Structure 1
Amino acid sequence: MNKIKFAIIGCGRISHKHIKALVNSAHEATLVGVCDLNIEKALSCKLEYESFCKEFDKVSIYDNYEEMIEKEDIDVVAIATESGYHAKIAIYCMNQGKHVLVEKPMALSIEDADDMIKCSSINKVKLGICHQNRFNSAILKLKNAIDCSKFGKVTNGTARILWNRDMSYYKQALWRGTWDLDGGTLMNQCIHNIDLLQWMLGGEIESVYAQCDKYLRGIEAEDFGAIIIRFRNKTIGIVEGSACVYPSNLEETLSIFGEKGTAVIGGIAVNEVLTWKFEGEDEERIKLLLNEKIDNVYGNGHMYLYEDFINCIFENRLPLIHGEEGKKALSIVLAAYKSQLTNRVVKFPLEEFSTAEMIGWKQM
């Protein structure tokens, strides 16, 4: 079996999870190139990978992704740049016949997300989105409980992301918190848990209402946001997202409630069962079996995400988190921004909207 040849564009803090995932999949995949405008960051990724995979071909480094795509024999491009560049880079790579695995959010507008999905279809290449927490053992157990009707009638769910991101975090990378390249707390810190909430509650959305604001951080976008999501199956989702919690991260939890069950998944990356109340089930045993050891908010899910993406190429199927799936959480956040801007409930399907339309919102 020929190994799938990967390249990484964007060598910032999340790129190390991609490196680790490729090392974990070394029998099926290999890294051939890394690219970053900061060549020192690209070199760091190269050396990190080669320290684990010394027996494989050496990794080439670039500061221009178009040059890398032209010169290297690449099957898959993993994109981990600033969010505002995701769509442009992904579409370029897919037009060159490359499969693409892109970090969250997949784009910053509905139009760009749709163009990415269309480009994937036209070029017959795979498009995957990095919502890696879907692969957490506790999350998979929760999804199975919903799919098997253990909750009975599901009523509502809550995603709480109560974190601290002080100004030193935003000053480390000046694109953070900007409307052109990022968005605020809802788009950056909360979108993973928003994805899990919509996945659990049914995905098909009727309406979104939100309130968000800037309180403590000197950024363009919001540092706190609250969303109410009404799903077509009549369940209600509530999102509470903050970058202002003193003095440090407090919690990230996903709670689901139904007539016959209550579950709360928490931990630093929604990786631990905190509450599991179902008749006839041993809560402590479930915790013992499922709770994972995780050392940061990114969790361990990239390894399983990569395994699925590699297999989807060999098996010629969609990845489990394909473009249409990635668009769902993005649409909720963009609808929340539109709701804040208009002070109205936003009905679905969501028409074209982008973070760029939020520029100047505090002055309106």
Structure 2
Amino acid sequence: MQGIMAAEKGLHVVSEKPMATNLKMADAMIHACDQNGVKLFVVKQNRLNATLQLLKRAVDKGRFGRIYMASVNVFWTRPQEYYDQAKWRGTWEFDGGAFLNQASHYVDMMEWLMGPVESVMAYTATMARRIETEDTGVAALRFRNGALGNMNVTMLTHPKNYEGSITILGEKGTVKIGGIAVNKIEHWEFEEYDDDDKLIQTTDYLPPNVYGFGHTGYYQNVLDVLENGEEPNTDGREGRKSLEIILAIYKSAREGKSIPLPLD
């Protein structure tokens, strides 16, 4: 693949999501970059959205107490014309479906905020698009910290992208970040006050599209790593985490049973 070829030429590698469509290729790219002494960056720009940065701080400060549940909705639309524009779209070999392509940032968000996943159970379906992969799916996740999670994903929302959200329910706090792409704090309530609470009125933003504004900060980190020796925010091993969860979701949907992580 191109990333491995670049690494073998001594070039640093920036990979969009997903970094690969299977773990074998992801591991090969990580190994190639390690062996050739180059950096591997996997684009996860949603982590840098102002709303999610605020939520991450609340989680890291322990403001929720024990977290009971996290719920993610990705209710977007991709018409048949979108898939028809390129032969690789909606294929297992080159693209993946709604989870691996459109919702992969949201899987990454769940793991980043909630920690490692212990097991998943999922259903997927191809309901309306003429593609190999799924256009709709649901997944239940059990995290190693004991919390439960769920994801509801579809590319069939009428007539346009409607919601990209996360809700976290904890012992001492409840937060929902919604909007079209986790760009709006819809509920923010904690048992104890923190100065971050004053920021929620100014953190919302109106994105021009579902990609938000996180790319600027992401590429600034790339420059800081290459020019100043800083560490990548999301390297190959970070990018691999969400890929493994998505592949476990697909395995569960195929086999009709709960799948433990890590995958064999």
Query: Does the TM-score normalized on the shorter chain lie above 0.5?
Result: yes
Q: Check the 8 A contact 1:276/1:283 in 2, yes or no.
A: no
1:127-146 matches, cutoff 5 A: 127-146=40-59
Q: Which residue pairs with 2:242 in the alignment?
A: 329
Q: Which residue pairs with 1:229 in the alignment?
A: 141
Q: Check the 8 A contact 2:91/2:132 in 1, yes or no.
A: yes
Cα deviation for residue 115 of structure 1 reads 1.0
Q: Which residue pairs with 2:23 in the alignment?
A: 110
Instruction: For 1:119, give the aligned amino acid.
Output: A
Q: Which residue pairs with 1:210 in the alignment?
A: 122
Cα deviation for residue 258 of structure 1 reads 0.5
Cα deviation for residue 142 of structure 1 reads 0.4
2:166 to 237, 254, 272: 254
SS of residue paired to 2:100: helix
TM-score (norm 1): 0.70
Higher relative contact order (CA 8 A, sep 6+): 2
Q: Which deviations, in whole Å up to 9, do the C-alpha atoms of 1:238-295 show, x marking residues without a partner? A: 1110011122211000111111111111222212211111133699853322112311
Instruction: For 2:158, give the aligned amino acid.
Output: Y
Unaligned ranges ≥5, structure 2? none
SS of residue paired to 1:252: strand
Say what the alpha-carbon RMSD is for the aligned residues.
Answer: 1.5
Query: For the residues of structure 2 that align with 1:130 and 1:275, how far apart are their CA atoms?
Result: 28
Q: Which deviations, in whole Å up to 9, do the C-alpha atoms of 1:77-96 show, x marking residues without a partner? A: xxxxxxxxxxx100100111
Query: For the residues of structure 1 that align with 2:196 and 2:19, how far apart are their CA atoms?
Result: 36
Query: For the residues of structure 1 that align with 2:20 and 2:231, how far apart are their CA atoms?
Result: 19
2:112 to 179, 199, 204: 199
Query: For the residues of structure 2 that align with 1:145 and 1:282, how far apart are their CA atoms?
Result: 11
Q: Which deviations, in whole Å up to 9, do the C-alpha atoms of 1:117-141 show, x marking residues without a partner? A: 1111111111011110000111011
Q: Check the 8 A contact 2:137/2:152 in 1, yes or no.
A: yes
Q: Does 1:238 align with 2:150?
A: yes
Unaligned ranges ≥5, structure 1? 1-87, 352-364
Instruction: For 1:242, give the aligned amino acid.
Output: T
Structure having the higher Rg? 1
Q: Check the 8 A contact 2:54/2:196 in 1, yes or no.
A: no
Q: Which residue pairs with 2:232 in the alignment?
A: 319
TM-score (norm 2): 0.95
Q: Does 1:344 align with 2:228?
A: no
Q: Does 1:174 align with 2:80?
A: no
Q: Check the 8 A contact 2:163/2:181 in 1, yes or no.
A: no
SS of residue paired to 1:294: coil
SS of residue paired to 1:168: helix
1:175-190 matches, cutoff 5 A: 175-190=88-103
Q: Which deviations, in whole Å up to 9, do the C-alpha atoms of 1:200-256 show, x marking residues without a partner? A: 101x22111110011111111011011111111111121110011122211000111
